Amino acid sequence: MYGKFILASSLETIAKRFTVRVPGRLEWVPRIVVSPGDETPVITQQDPRELTLMQFGYTPAGAQEPWNLIHARAEGGKNQRNDPFYSGSPAIFLKPAFRKPLFTRRCVVIADAFVGWSAAGKQPWLVYLRDRERPFGMAGLYDIWVHPVTKAEIPGFALITVPGNALFHKLPAHRMPVIIPRGREIPWLRASCHLSDILGMLSIFPAEKMNAYPLHPGFDQKLPLSGNALKPAGERIYSESERKILPVRHWGHKQKGAGESTWRGEEN
């Protein structure tokens, strides 16, 4: 499974890729590794033309305490064996926590790559899209939870997941996020979508369009990240003779409370 993803692209790069605005009030410093509880840019159904900052961790609006869910299964309570050939209808709409947001609060979660973990939970893998497809969008749901005491509004999102494809089975890992193919972000956010249209977009991304390599365990335990933190600790799942993985720039952004990041990506 996974609970972290990578986002090092600048706001300008993200805005150009998804054809959205960066509002002047938005203040965000790339963390590179986005973990549960972190704020990160998303594109929401309510404001599909601009970036919004939101917490990775979902709590339904009516909950009395924070849930901080990071995953929402497309099959709902079905397919507990995570069968990639499951042919039943996605039943996420039967889950009370996700029923309303599935129609009114879908979002695109932006990433350059994400971190998958072996089923034993000991080996992290950096999973990315081939053909330099970055940043890309993942399907998410969000809601705005109101703290019962402070009355503060806390927006948060969860990633929708499906059974892992052939690449994930090699890690091995059972589930993966729903990756939105380029050009399908607007349909995913369209308010007029029927349930059948929404569920039809919750598909397994093709394994041949992805790749992965192992990371050193504990790669992100110390901040700022070192220049080697996201480099391969072993062979890629599928061989690549000439490809380079992550975008080049000197990511010397100031990390909140963490000094400077020294990680450099690779040449675009």
CATH number for 4-223 (one of 3.40.50.620, 3.90.1680.10, 2.30.130.60, 1.10.275.10): it is 3.90.1680.10
d(CA 251, CA 263): 6
Q: Is the pLDDT of residue 219 over 90?
A: no
Q: How far is CA 186 from CA 12, 54, 107, 191, in A?
A: 19, 19, 10, 10
Which of residues 45 and 229 earns the better pLDDT score?
A: 45
Tell which wins on pLDDT, 6 or 121: 6
- The per-residue pLDDT for 131 is 87
Q: Which of 203, 139, 207, 135 lies closest to 171, judged by CA?
A: 207
Q: Which of 54-63, 69-78, 257-266 has the lowest mean pLDDT?
A: 257-266
Average pLDDT over residues 63-90: 94
- Lowest model confidence (mean pLDDT) among 17-21, 157-161, 230-234: 230-234
Per-chain mean pLDDT for the chain = 87
More confident residue, 228 or 143: 143
- Percent of the chain at pLDDT exceeding 70: 88
**Phi, psi values for residue 169, rounded to 5°:** -65, -20
At 253, list the tokens.
């952004």
- Residue type present at position 173: A
Report whether pLDDT(191) > 90.
yes
Per-residue model confidence (pLDDT) at position 257: 38
Q: Using 50, 70 and 90 to split pLDDT, how confident is the model at 264?
A: very low
What is the model's pLDDT at position 221?
78
pLDDT of residue 227: 67
Question: Residue 7: is its pLDDT beyond 80?
Answer: yes
pLDDT band at 1 (very low <50, low <70, confident <90, very high): low
Mean pLDDT over residues 238-262, rounded? 47
pLDDT at 62 exceeding the cut of 90: no
Domain regions of the chain by residue span: 4-223
